[in-house]
């Protein structure tokens, strides 16, 4: 199965480091970052889970829950968490799904045979409260992910959901944003963007971030 942006994230019921999880029920009305790992007790994964644990306050501010996954069993996850916490000096406050039967990996297309026939690649999905897939990252097995970029994109998604804007390249929270081409009526623009805008070209209209 190949997931695309806008698809409903597949539900699943699976064992995890905190017991049985039914994904949609566990997610509730939160945003979710679901990310897979090739295997437990591997060096890159250990650093990634440590980074995610340290970012929990930032995820909480954005109403985001993190959940990891690998094809190892739950008992192994629990032992691995002890290593993560000891080496990364943090507390892992999120579950790790035990996908031993690879059923979740298949639903989310996390196993790429040209990389490995048994291990999940570094897939990451951002899923909104309506359970829609909003972002998909896929990294090779040897490359750790940039979790600051994950936060940046969540900020952009939440901003563009709440306001009729788009974000430019390298945008960060607080930067100017773009008025989409779908909005052309000047009266509507004045209502939506009372701070005004600059237009370097008719199609390139920049305005201050509306909620700042």
Listed by start position, the domains of the chain span 13-145, 163-207
Alpha helices in 20-143 (DSSP H): 23-27, 43-54, 56-61, 74-88, 103-107
Task: Give the pLDDT confidence score for residue 59 in this predicted structure.
Answer: 97
What integer best gives the mean pLDDT of the chain?
93
Global pTM reads: 0.92
45 included as an active-site residue: yes
Task: Give the pLDDT confidence score for residue 142 in this predicted structure.
Answer: 85
Q: Is the dihedral of CA 120, 74, 18, 78 positive or negative?
A: negative
Is pLDDT at 120 greater than 80 in this prediction?
no
Catalytic residue among 27, 33, 45, 49: 45
Residues 80, 82: Cα–Cα separation, whole Å: 5
Q: Per CATH, is 13-145 categorized as 3.40.30.10?
A: yes
Task: Give the pLDDT confidence score for residue 118 in this predicted structure.
Answer: 56
For 141-163, write each residue's pLDDT tens digit: 888 999 999 999 999 999 999 99
Q: Which long-range contacts (CB under 8 A, 24 or more apart) does 133-138 make?
A: 133/3, 133/4, 133/5, 133/6, 133/7, 133/8, 133/9, 134/5, 135/5, 136/3, 136/5, 138/112
- Reduced to 3 DSSP states, what percent helix, strand and coil does the chain have, rounded to the nearest 5? 30, 25, 45
Is pLDDT at 135 greater than 90 in this prediction?
yes
Q: Is the dihedral of CA 34, 131, 18, 15 positive or negative?
A: negative
Task: Give the pLDDT confidence score for residue 1 in this predicted structure.
Answer: 61
Residues 50, 161: Cα–Cα separation, whole Å: 29
């Amino acid at each position: 199965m190949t997931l695309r942006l806008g698809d409903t994230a597949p539900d699943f019921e699976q064992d995890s480091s905190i017991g049985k999880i039914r994904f949609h029920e566990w997610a509730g009305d939160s945003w979710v970052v679901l990310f897979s790992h090739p295997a437990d007790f591997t060096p890159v994964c250990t650093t990634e889970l440590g980074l995610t644990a340290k970012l929990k306050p930032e995820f909480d501010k954005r109403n985001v829950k993190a959940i990891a996954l690998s094809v190892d069993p739950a008992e192994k996850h629990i032992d691995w968490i002890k290593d993560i916490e000891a080496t990364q000096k943090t507390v892992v406050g999120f579950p790790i799904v035990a996908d031993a039967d690879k059923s979740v990996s298949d639903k989310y297309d996390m196993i790429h045979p040209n990389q490995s026939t048994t291990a999940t690649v570094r897939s990451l999905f951002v899923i909104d409260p309506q359970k829609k897939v909003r972002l998909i990252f896929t990294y090779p097995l040897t490359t750790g992910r940039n979790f600051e970029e994950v936060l940046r994109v969540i900020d952009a998604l939440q901003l563009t959901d709440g306001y009729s804007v788009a974000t430019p390249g390298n945008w960060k929270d607080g930067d100017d944003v773009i008025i989409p081409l779908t909005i052309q009526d000047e009266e509507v623009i004045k209502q939506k963007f009372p701070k005004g805008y600059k237009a370097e070209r008719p199609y390139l209209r920049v305005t201050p971030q509306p909620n700042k």
